[in-house]
Amino acid sequence: MRDRALRGVNLGGWLVLERWMTPSVFVGTEAQDEYTFMQTPGAQDKIDTHRREFITEADFQWLHKVGVEAVRIPVGYWVLASSGPYVEASAYLDWAFQMAETYQLRVLLDLHGAPGSQNGHDHSGRIGHPAWFDKEIYRTETLSILKALHQRYHASPAYWGLEFLNEPKGSNMGMLRQFYREVSQATDGDQYMVFSDAFRPLSMNGALPGEPRAVMDVHIYHMASKLRHVLPVSSFVKVSNWWYTRLLRHLSKHQPVIVGEWSMVLRGESLRRFSDGWADELMHNFGHQQIEAYDRASLAWFYWSYKTESPNKWNFRYLVDEGLLVLP
């Protein structure tokens, strides 16, 4: 029994493109998502170069060295087989599992982009209407893809869990619960079966009753909290962490909970009135208090994200290298 959470990072922006994370990939195009990018001249060569160079063995070495224990790898439904303009990335995912085994990291496979898009955001592969909720064929295809991913990696000692959908955005929570049940029934093994709370943690709590492998994923982004408008930053940080600790413990009464995404990002106006030294100290405390809270109240946590092209607070590696985030 672990005395604290498994500590991890997301390998965001690697096998599912996000323009804001790696803008250099999109230079010379108007594309805002991977779907439109892959229809631009030279896209195949560009994405091959990106996949080969953005994450390398040196990254896995660094993660192991600083005490990171797991990676959450966002993938699109096209990762094992090309579909439409999307190009498969199975060799890169296979390699990531090999690296994880070599450097003793666990892997949470995360279906970030589903057929039809489960949320209509760029990080699902295509901006637009979340048609996943509209057509049964999309949900059937998603189930087949999840089964294929699970079968491909179930024998790997690095394989920690399978996340069914990232941040689904729809009004039919009954449909979502039914889909979660179908996936859990279609997969064997002892890996964790991770389901998103769809930003409705209380409504989705206990979505897989009787499933011993069930884990709920909650994403915590303090920058979106309304409390930041009414409290001083230092008080906001303490109150927010107190609230989320209580929430995670409540949810954990029904199944283990992970914090699949979190960050140290606050709105710019929150820190603008502080000198650089005070702002750095505040951010250091902000990160420390979040780690302390999630270590106590969750099964695992994963920072969003491991790195971006810019040195900013979305960039875990930059924060650690600069001493703004320390793993106790």
CB 189 within 8 A of CB 154: yes
- The answer as to whether 327 is a domain residue is no
Structural element, H or E, at residue 174: helix 173-186
Q: What is the CATH number of the domain that holds 223?
A: 3.20.20.80
- For the entire predicted model, the pTM comes to 0.95
Minimal CA–CA distance to 216: which of 177, 242, 189? 177
Nearest 10 degrees: Cα torsion 188, 191, 192, 194: -70
E strand residue ranges, the chain: 6-10, 70-76, 106-113, 159-163, 192-196, 214-220, 257-262, 300-303
Is 1 inside a domain boundary?
no
326 within some domain: no
d(C-alpha 26, C-alpha 32), whole Å: 8
Residue 216 CA to residue 207 CA, distance in Å, equals 8
Q: Residue 88 domain-assigned?
A: yes
Domain that holds residue 276: 6-321
Q: Cα 195 from chain centroid?
A: 12
**Pairing label, strands 6-10, 214-220:** unpaired
Q: What is the pLDDT along the chain (328 residues), one digit of tens a residue?
A: 578 999 999 999 999 999 999 999 999 999 999 999 999 999 999 999 999 999 999 999 999 999 999 999 999 999 999 999 999 999 999 999 999 999 999 999 999 999 999 999 999 999 999 999 999 999 999 999 999 999 999 999 999 999 999 999 978 999 999 999 999 999 999 999 999 999 999 999 999 999 999 999 999 998 776 655 556 666 777 888 888 999 999 999 999 999 999 999 886 544 444 445 556 787 888 899 999 999 999 999 999 999 999 999 999 999 999 999 999 8
pLDDT at 171: 80
277 part of a folded domain: yes
Residue 158, domain member (yes or no): yes
Given a contact cutoff of 8 angstroms between Cβ atoms, the answer to whether 57 and 103 are in contact is: no
pLDDT for position 267 = 65
**328: in domain:** no
Residue 272 lies in a domain: yes
Tokens 């489960």 locate to 118
* Contact between 9 and 72 (Cβ < 8 Å): yes
Residue indicated by tokens 């060799």: 91
Q: Would you say 61 and 24 are in contact if contact means Cβ atoms under 8 Å apart?
A: no
Long-range pairs, 93-97, Cβ under 8 A, ≥24? 93/15, 96/11, 96/55, 96/71, 97/153, 97/156, 97/158, 97/159
How many separate domains does the chain show? 1
**Alpha-carbon distances of 261 from 17, 127, 219, rounded to whole Å:** 17, 20, 5
